[in-house]
Structures are given as C-alpha cells and as structure tokens.
Structure 1
Amino acid sequence: MTAEAVARARALAETVSDPEMPMVSLADLGVLRDVRVDSDDTVVVTITPTYSGCPAMAMIRADIEHTLRSHGYPSVRVDTVLAPAWSSDWITAAGRRKLLEHGYSPPGPAPRRGPTPLSLAPVPRRVTCPHCGSAATERVSEFSATACKALYRCRECLEPFDHVKEI
C-alpha cells in the first residue's frame, strides 16, 4: 500500500465522530491513536477508550471499519490499547471549542498522575456555563447520560448542561 493510501486512510479515520458526542471526532477527543498498514495490507487503527468500560467502543470500532471499508479499504482491524490510559488532556483545542459550541462544558486540566489520595466525595471542579459563561453553577449529578460526563445547572441562566469530566 502506498504512503498516499495510508495517509488517506488516516484522514478518513480522523473524520469518524464520537457516537455519544457527534460534534467531535475521535481525533478531536484524542481517542484515535494511530493508523498504519500491516505487511498484508490490512489497515490497523489503534484507539484508546476514554475509560475502560466505555459502552460506545463497539460502535466506535464498527464506525471506523465501515468508514474505511466503504472508501475502498477491504481489510481493516481496530486495536484497542489501554496504556497509556486516555486523558482528557488529549482533547484538542478544536475539540474543546466544538464541545463548548454545542453546550458542553469542556474539561479542565486532568488530575496529576501518580499516587492519588482516596476520596469518597465527588471531585470539586470550577465549571462555567457553556451557555452564558457564568461561574455560578452547581452539580446536579456526578453522572449524566454517560459516566464520562457530569450534569450541572447554571444558577444564572438556569440552563442544565453536561460537563466532560477531567480524567
């Protein structure tokens, strides 16, 4: 397979959207790690889930395979790697902008890696409203439609919104 065909396969894989937040691509989220070709001309796409129990992984794999196969790549394999673990710091600036534009509060800096003190309380965050920009927000639930998001409400404009958690 030519270098041009590999670059085209990468560009196609970069267009695949996250099934839970379709305004961002897997590349925007930092989930797409690598696209390469094996010696038998199989396109191998490497992804890292946002967390190990992410229920969207089967759909993500299927969407990647469908996109590449429908554009002329008959042999596709999607590999999942868990190390290093995905970090919300991997979300690109464009991805953060798209989240904000669509009413999501993007994550702040991820917690420092290494030994973490045990805390049974939810992580405190400074979250601003993606609708009006107010910092007067309150957490309604630590879990929203998916485990990687928390549900907040703005005390100024009263709008609810999801906050993508720092991981």
Structure 2
Amino acid sequence: MGVSEAKIWDILDKVPDPEIPVISVVDLGVIRAVNVNGHRVEVTVTPTYSGCPAMAVIAMDIDTALSSAGIGDVSIKTQIAPPWTTDWLSAKGRAQLEAYGIAPPREAGGPERCPLCKSTQVQKVSQFGSTPCKAQWRCAACLEPFDYFKCI
C-alpha cells in the first residue's frame, strides 16, 4: 500500500525554506505538484527565481523529510515554467513573513507597513536586500531596517 498524496503534502508543509525558516516550502508556493504512484513519489518544485541558490538545499530537505517518513522512492523535478510568483504565497505564509519581520509582497510595489511596529511611514533604502528576492526598507517611525519580499 502506498502513501497518500495528502500525507506527502503534510510532510512537505513542515519543510522550512532554508533562507526564511519560518515559512514552509508549501506556504512559499514552490511546491507545484505531488504525484504518488504506489510507493513512488514525485515532487515538482518551482524556484522563486531561475538562479535561486537555495534550490539544492530545498531538494535535499524534501528528500530527507520524505525519507525520514519512510518514503524511499522519491524524485524531485524542477519546473521553471510558469515562473514562480509571489501570488503563490499562502495567506499563512504571508502572515508568517510579517511576524518574522519581513514585509510580505504587495502589488502596489512596496510594503504596506513596517512589520515590526506597524507604522505606514516606510521608505526604500535599496532595491537589494539580504537575498535577491528581497529589498531593504526602513521604518521612519521606529527607525528599524527590514526586508521587503519583492513582488515577482
């Protein structure tokens, strides 16, 4: 008897993103599909951008989590089209980002408020942040810098 697709999704929901460990790869939206065929499991992953250095770690962490759950026949497929978009972040993931101090993406092109003090008085410091998918912002109220997860 094989494992269920729902069980695989539950396991993957506990695999943290290596760059932002408070959000799972499921809530980040990089898991595109799970296919179960008996004991064989295929997980399809879309990187947040084509040069994402975390992809090797994400694949290894997925394989490790599934192997630890007794699932030995695992393949991880990378799918780059359609490209990942911040629209794929779950509502839970967006809330986790903000609670961690990273402003979640908005279509308006900048953070709505400081994730630390919730002030709307924010200003961009640099288009480039701690990782390529983030920009550096600062709050004019609490004066703290914070990352903004860029819309893609």
TM range (shorter): over 0.9
Write the deviation string for residues 83-140 of structure 1: whole angstroms up to 9, x where unpaired. 1111101111100111111111000038xxxxxxxxxxxxx53542111122211212
Instruction: Please identify runs of 4+ aligned residues in structure 1 that moved more than 2 A.
Output: 4-7, 124-127
Contact preservation (8 Å) 1:88, 1:109: no
Distance in 1 (alpha carbons) for counterparts of 2:5 and 2:28: 21
Aligned to 1:20: 19
Aligned to 1:43: 41
Alignment of 1:106-145 (within 5 A): 106-109=104-107, 125-145=110-130
Aligned to 2:6: 7
Alignment of 1:87-106 (within 5 A): 87-106=85-104
Distance in 2 (alpha carbons) for counterparts of 1:31 and 1:96: 14
Aligned to 2:70: 72
Percent identity between the two aligned chains:
47
* Alignment partner of 1:152 is 2:152: no
Aligned to 1:166: 151
TM-score by length of 2: 0.93
TM-score by length of 1: 0.85
Secondary structure of the residue aligned to 1:17 is coil
| Root-mean-square deviation (Å) | 1.6
Which runs of 5 or more structure 2 residues have no equivalent in the other structure? none
Contact preservation (8 Å) 1:61, 1:78: yes
Distance in 1 (alpha carbons) for counterparts of 2:30 and 2:17: 9
Secondary structure of the residue aligned to 2:71 is coil
